[in-house]
Structure 1
Amino acid sequence: MPIHLIWGDDYEGSNREIEGIIQTLIDPAWKSFNYSQIDGNDPKQNFRALEEVQSAPLGNGNRIVLVRRSPFCNACSIELANKLEQTIKLIPDNTYLILNNSNKPDKRLKTTKLIQKSIQSNPLSTEKSFVLPLPWDLNGQRNLVKNIARNLNLKINHATIDLIVESIGSDSSLINTELQKLALLSEASNDNLNTNGEQEITKNLVEKLIQNNSTNALDIASLLLQGEIIIALNKIKSLLDSGEPSLRLITTLTGQARGWLWVNLLDSEGNQDVKEIAKLIGIANPKRIFVIRKQIQGKSFEKLLGLMKKLLIIEALIKSGTNPMDAFKDNLLTESKIMTNS
Structure 2
Amino acid sequence: MPIHVYWGEDDFAIEKEVSLLRDRYLDPLWASFNYTVLSSDDTNAPIQALNLVMTPPFGAGGRLVWLPNSTICQQCPESLLSELERTLPVVASNSHLLLTSSNKPDERLKSTKLLKKFAEFREFSLTPPWKTEILIQSAKQAAQTVGVKLTVRGVEMLVEAVGNDTRLLYNELEKLRLYAEGNAKPLDTDVIAQLVKNTTQSSLKLAEAIRTGDTVRALIMLTDLMNANEPPLRIVATLIGQFRTWLWVKLMMDSGERNVQAIAKAAEIANFNRVYILQKDVKSISAKQLIACLPLLLDLEVSLKQGNSETSILQTKVIELCQVCQGK
TM-score (norm 2): 0.74
Per-residue Cα deviation, 1:35-72 (whole angstroms, up to 9, x for no partner): 14386xx8x86565333211134689864222454768
Q: 1:235 to 1:286 in 2, by over 3 A?
A: same
Matched, 1:133 2:134: no
Q: 1:276 to 1:166 in 2, by over 3 A?
A: farther
2:296 and 2:141 map into 1 onto residues whose CA distance is 32
1:28 and 1:313 map into 2 onto residues whose CA distance is 50
Per-residue Cα deviation, 1:143-166 (whole angstroms, up to 9, x for no partner): 433444455454445433333334
Q: 1:201 to 1:151 in 2, by over 3 A?
A: same
RMSD, aligned α-carbons: 4.4
**CA contact 2:210–2:218 (8 Å) conserved in 1:** yes
Q: Which residues of structure 1 form unaligned runs of 5+?
A: 117-126
- What is the match of residue 167 of structure 2? 176
Q: 1:212 to 1:96 in 2, by over 3 A?
A: closer
- What is the match of residue 157 of structure 2? 163
Match of 1:301 among 281, 287, 305: 287
TM-score (norm 1): 0.71
Range moving further from structure 2, 278-287 or 28-37: 28-37
Matched, 1:37 2:24: no
Q: 1:152 to 1:232 in 2, by over 3 A?
A: same
Matched ranges for 1:187-336 at <5 A: 187=178, 189-192=179-182, 202-210=188-196, 212-322=198-308, 324-334=310-320, 336=322
> Could you list the runs of 4 or more consecutive aligned residues of structure 1 that deviate by over 6 angstroms after TM superposition?
26-30
Deviation at 1:336, TM superposition (A): 4.2
2:257 and 2:84 map into 1 onto residues whose CA distance is 52
**CA contact 2:34–2:64 (8 Å) conserved in 1:** no
Q: 1:143 to 1:232 in 2, by over 3 A?
A: same
1:152 and 1:35 map into 2 onto residues whose CA distance is 28
Matched, 1:142 2:170: no
**CA contact 1:226–1:341 (8 Å) conserved in 2:** no
Deviation at 1:111, TM superposition (A): 5.3
Secondary structure (helix, strand or coil) at the match of 1:296 reads helix
**CA contact 1:182–1:205 (8 Å) conserved in 2:** no
Q: Which residues of structure 2 form unaligned runs of 5+?
A: none
Per-residue Cα deviation, 1:81-140 (whole angstroms, up to 9, x for no partner): 75355313x35x3x332243554898x967545446xxxxxxxxxx75424334554443
Deviation at 1:278, TM superposition (A): 1.1
**CA contact 1:133–1:141 (8 Å) conserved in 2:** yes
Deviation at 1:286, TM superposition (A): 0.9
Structure 2: which amino acid aligns with 1:162? E
1:115 and 1:103 map into 2 onto residues whose CA distance is 15
1:337 and 1:304 map into 2 onto residues whose CA distance is 12
Secondary structure (helix, strand or coil) at the match of 2:270 reads coil
Matched, 1:14 2:14: yes
Range moving further from structure 2, 222-231 or 208-217: 208-217
